[in-house]
Amino acid sequence: MPVNSNKPLRWKKDISQSVDMYNDWFMRFAPKAYRDTRLRTTETVRRAMEATRGLASLDADTLRAHPEVICVLRMSTCPPIAVDRLIGLTGIAGALVKTMDKFCKIPPNASARSVTEALARIGDVIRRLLDRDILVWLDRRRDPTEDEMQRASTVIADRLCGAQTNPIIRNAQEQRQLDKVKDWLVARGYRQVEPADIADHRKMQPGTFCYRLNVSVRQGNRRLNVPVDIAVMPLKPRGFHWPLLVEAKSAGDYTNVNKRRKEEATKIKQLRDTYGRSVRYVLLLGGYFDSGYLGYEASEGIDWVWEHRIDDFERMGL
């Protein structure tokens, strides 16, 4: 029996309470999450500065030895440029720039000659666009002072964090959700286990829970791993012996959730196609989720627990 998806008359009140809870958290904790990330990012920028001699050395050999500096280079220009803009300006293969930016490495199968030519183009474009108002030592053809290095690193780190603000806040909120569920479960006698200890999610021990568990599903003739944020086997499983699979969702606005709402529908379809209708899959919602989103998920047979009313997990058998 659904707990929340079949009660649309209560959705409006729950949406309001969820938004208020998220806004309260944002005002109290988001600035700290951003500052902490900025401190770590500043150190990343400093290392990139040192590896490139204050961004004065942007030749192919330097970029090959330090592919991780690419994200710092993009934010050191005037104006800062996105990955796709850098690809367009250089006219090189997108895979190289994207691999450097996301994985901090050179694609292993790329030919040495093509990589050298591409890195040289990257260096040329970045050099022409460098923001010399903050990199003041470049025009003076000298090494930066400590104060100049720190000031420039802080500005570039701010730009990097600004480009990643939503993921920073979303990751902090998601961790807070997981911690809240853990506190709730541990207080009721549950024990956390590691994903490596679970060969089959259906055979979890009663009273255990796990984060970041990959559940194997079928898609045609292939097997895929579907990531699940939380898997919980009830202390006293009722009926069929299935864990509760929980997807933690948080949102700071209404726009993105409606763009991504099909992800959960795809996931539950994969799970049901593999394991049948007995799969127990629910959402943990915190933040901006409107009636359109809730109606879509309900139509797909997906129930949810609101973070502001986390005790509803008890009604789901936990």
Q: What is the pLDDT of residue 188?
A: 94
CATH class of 8-29+167-316: alpha beta
d(CA 94, CA 31): 34
Q: Which long-range contacts (CB under 8 A, 24 or more apart) does 194-199 make?
A: 198/231
Place of tokens 């991780």: 68
Which backbone phi and psi does 304 adopt, to 5 degrees? -150, 160
Q: What is the pLDDT of residue 245?
A: 94
What residue ranges of the chain are covered by domains with CATH 3.40.1350? Answer: 8-29+167-316
Other Cβ atoms less than 10 A from the Cβ of 223: the count is: 10
Q: What is the pLDDT of residue 18?
A: 92
d(CA 182, CA 184): 5
Q: What is the pLDDT of residues 12-53, one digit of tens each?
A: 999 999 999 989 888 888 787 778 888 888 899 999 999 999
Q: What is the pLDDT of residue 240?
A: 55
Q: What is the pLDDT of residues 96-142, one digit of tens each?
A: 999 999 889 998 888 889 999 999 999 999 999 999 999 999 988 88
Q: What is the pLDDT of residue 159?
A: 87
Contact 123, 100 (CB under 8 A): no
Q: What is the pLDDT of residue 308?
A: 93
Q: What is the pLDDT of residue 239?
A: 61
Other Cβ atoms less than 10 A from the Cβ of 281: the count is: 21
Q: What is the pLDDT of residue 190?
A: 95
Q: How far from 168 is each of 121, 160, 173, 230, 281, CA to CA, in Å?
A: 31, 11, 9, 21, 26
Longest dimension (CA), the chain: 76
pTM: 0.69
What are the pLDDT tens digits along the chain (318 aa)? 789 999 999 999 999 999 999 898 888 887 877 788 888 888 999 999 999 999 999 999 999 999 999 999 999 999 999 999 999 999 998 899 999 998 899 988 888 899 999 999 999 999 999 999 999 999 888 899 988 998 899 899 888 887 666 677 778 888 889 999 999 999 999 999 998 888 888 888 999 999 999 988 887 788 888 889 999 999 887 665 789 999 999 888 887 777 777 888 888 888 888 888 888 899 999 988 999 999 999 999 999 999 999 999 999 988
